[in-house]
Amino acid sequence: MKKQKLPKCLNREKITEIIDHYENQTDEEAIKEANEAFKDSETVFSVPKEAVPEIRKIIEKYRHA
């Protein structure tokens, strides 16, 4: 098994801070953070599983347009 290396900007202290942030976040804070992350570029929604292959094709066409 190949040993993974962390980016230089991450150390044990920073990783602990990140874990603490997400473990201590309220549901409302998590929702707000997720919404902010996708605010300007993407949206997330639920679709029937049967529609996923067709939606992927549409997204690929959009990306290559």
Task: Give the per-residue pLDDT at 8.
Answer: 85
Predicted TM-score (pTM) above 0.75: no
Q: Does residue 3 belong to any structural domain of this protein? A: no
pLDDT tops 90 at residue 57: yes
Length of the chain: 65
Count up the domains in the chain and report the number: 1
Q: Does residue 55 belong to any structural domain of this protein? A: yes
Q: Does residue 16 belong to any structural domain of this protein? A: yes
DSSP 45: -
Task: Give the per-residue pLDDT at 18.
Answer: 95
Q: Does residue 35 belong to any structural domain of this protein? A: yes
Q: Does residue 58 belong to any structural domain of this protein? A: yes
Q: Does residue 42 belong to any structural domain of this protein? A: yes
Q: Does residue 33 belong to any structural domain of this protein? A: yes
Which structural domain range is residue 33 located in?
Answer: 12-63
CB-based contact 44:38 (threshold 8 Å): yes
Q: Does residue 52 belong to any structural domain of this protein? A: yes
